[in-house]
Structure 1
Amino acid sequence: MKKVRIFLVLAITSLIAFTSCNQSKPVKTIENLKAGIIGETTASKKYEAFAQKAKEEGHDAIAMLFSAASNAEAVHAANHTKVLESLGEKMDDFTPEFEVKTTAENLQAAIEGESYEVATMYPQFLADAKAEKVQKAEQSFTWALDTEKKHNDFYSNALSALNAESESGLPTGYAVCPVCGNTYDMANVDDKCAFCMTDKSKFINFD
């Protein structure tokens, strides 16, 4: 009888250990990371194309903004990918799709995209990550959200300047943190990134 009890205890212990090792994955966060990767990668490619269009139209300051933002979005996509892979998942292949129009239209499209990310997409992603207790995703989503807020302001100012035919007051260069994507007007750069504390000596400059 004693041997039976010992066997039952061992069986139950093994079952508990097996169950704990096979807990369900954070399904919503995984879906959100994949959606974020698609969105950020598409934005990066799109802004790169928008930069080229702005150059063709003679809007050099706006072209620099798009180039800097393109780099920042690539950083966000890379961060999301790292978190996704740490959860044992891989990103499916996809092809970014977007349209390139006039610089004014491209700025408006960028504002609409950033506004959606700031007001709707990333707040929901963060809520899901917190609910599923995925701290690495929370950090990656927070860095992206805080950066998109700055991008939205940059784009809004650029569109206003373009419409007023007065682009001389726009930043003459930008700096991007390679760790979190934080984007600065080069005339006002912190010694360390305000989001992740990376030293400014490592920032990528666009001027």
Structure 2
Amino acid sequence: MFRHSTRTFAVSLCALAAVAPAVPALALAPAGGPPSPAPHTAARALRAQTLADLATGMKGEAYAYAAYSLFAAEADRQGLPAVGKLFRSTAQTELNEHLREAATLAGTVGTNAANLRQAINGETYEHQVMYRRFASQARADGDLAAAELFTEIAADEGRHRDAYRTALTAVTTGHGTIPAPPTAKTVSVPAGLPKVKATRTRTNLDTAMHGEALAHAKYMLYAAQARRTGNPALARLFEGTAGVELHEHFAGEAVLAGLVRTTKANLSKAITGEHNEATTLYPGFASRATAVGDTAAATYFRDTAADEAKHSAAFQQALNQLR
């Protein structure tokens, strides 16, 4: 996965709760099946710093999944199917193992109503504050394409919020219906240089991409919970919105940010990120968790660091073969 941004997210959607929820957490998915609920006693006991470190980990894992998926598509376009397969398999590990395990430890997923409230809070912030500010700043800096995209996404997030509000009423009162899911307008992301000029716009694009990637991942977890509890309509709403966040919002931002380059450059970037995760970030998290007695989290951080070292080595081998 990539080096995590040090910027603090104010978006509640894009951060885990600093305190443990009073609802069931999400357990790891059995092979080939949906996630199942599990006791969240570990989440209750976790210290605030450990929860914050899990939040950072989830954000990075979600972003790695989204970016590696785009890198895989570029490798395919360059006639490098083996590299595309490597990126895709690594992306799946980041999302379906690392992120899910962190979500379980942190007690990220609750009841359908609790999940909807979290989603509403995040979408409200993005609609009313974050994307409007990003659009204003991009316009002031002369990055008009970014300003337009941020404005469009702000409007989308408002619609997502309204749909989730309607769904929450249906879930909590038994009256009304769950809205139909939105359909993503999939954006193709070819290799290319950044299409913005201001450092501030680039920073805001990075913040936005991390947020959209995490929103996609969390909504897919919420969808699994909705389906498990017998609410397929709510599951479809979460899944459809997750698709918009990833295939439309993240992808559109990735185009402007110049996220995807040549496969050699993409591999080099991935190697740097994975090496940092393996040698610095996750070992540091493990040490902190060990010091406060959060042993399950410490084990997770150490295991994830070992995985990231393997990813770095695999990417390095693939890059060596292209030289």
> What TM-score do the two structures reach when normalised by structure 1?
0.62
Specify the alignment match of 2:33 in structure 1: none
Task: Decide whether the 8 Å contact of 2:46 with 2:294 is kept in 1.
Answer: no
Q: 1:80 aligned to 2:102? A: yes
Partner letter of residue 142 of structure 1? R
Specify the alignment match of 2:66 in structure 1: 45
Specify the alignment match of 1:137 in structure 2: 297
Partner letter of residue 48 of structure 2? V
1:142, CA displacement in angstroms?
Answer: 2.0
Q: In structure 2, what is the Cα distance between the partners aligned to 1:24 and 1:53?
A: 43
Partner letter of residue 273 of structure 2? G
Q: 1:157 aligned to 2:178? A: no
Query: 1:95 pairs with 212, 231, 256, which one?
Result: 212
Q: In structure 1, what is the Cα distance between the partners aligned to 2:46 and 2:84?
A: 41
Partner letter of residue 95 of structure 1? E
Query: 2:47 pairs with 20, 23, 26, which one?
Result: 26
Rg (Cα) greater in structure? 1
Partner letter of residue 59 of structure 1? L
> 3-state SS of the aligned residue for 1:53?
helix
Distance 1:143 1:47, change over 3 A: same
Q: In structure 1, what is the Cα distance between the partners aligned to 2:54 and 2:296?
A: 11
1:134, CA displacement in angstroms?
Answer: 1.1
Q: In structure 1, what is the Cα distance between the partners aligned to 2:83 and 2:281?
A: 25
Specify the alignment match of 2:137 in structure 1: none
> What TM-score do the two structures reach when normalised by structure 2?
0.41
Distance 1:162 1:131, change over 3 A: same
Task: Decide whether the 8 Å contact of 2:271 with 2:315 is kept in 1.
Answer: yes
Q: In structure 2, what is the Cα distance between the partners aligned to 1:102 and 1:143?
A: 31
Any idea what the Cα deviations from partners look like across 1:55-75, whole Å, max 9, x if unmatched? 010001111100110011011
Distance 1:39 1:153, change over 3 A: same
Task: Decide whether the 8 Å contact of 2:279 with 2:305 is kept in 1.
Answer: no
Q: Which sections of structure 2, spanning at least 5 residues, go unmatched? A: 1-43, 123-210, 214-249
Q: In structure 2, what is the Cα distance between the partners aligned to 1:140 and 1:153?
A: 20
Any idea what the Cα deviations from partners look like across 1:138-173, whole Å, max 9, x if unmatched? 22212211111111110001111111xxxxxxxxxx
Q: In structure 2, what is the Cα distance between the partners aligned to 1:49 and 1:135?
A: 35
1:25, CA displacement in angstroms?
Answer: 5.3
Q: In structure 2, what is the Cα distance between the partners aligned to 1:147 and 1:118?
A: 8
Partner letter of residue 57 of structure 1? Q
Specify the alignment match of 2:91 in structure 1: 70
Partner letter of residue 84 of structure 2? A
Specify the alignment match of 2:281 in structure 1: 121
Identity of aligned residues (%): 29
Distance 1:85 1:24, change over 3 A: closer
Q: In structure 2, what is the Cα distance between the partners aligned to 1:123 and 1:107?
A: 23
Q: Which sections of structure 1, spanning at least 5 residues, go unmatched? A: 1-22, 164-207
> 3-state SS of the aligned residue for 2:305?
helix
Partner letter of residue 84 of structure 1? A
Q: In structure 1, what is the Cα distance between the partners aligned to 2:267 and 2:279?
A: 18
Partner letter of residue 42 of structure 1? Y
Task: Decide whether the 8 Å contact of 2:275 with 2:312 is kept in 1.
Answer: yes
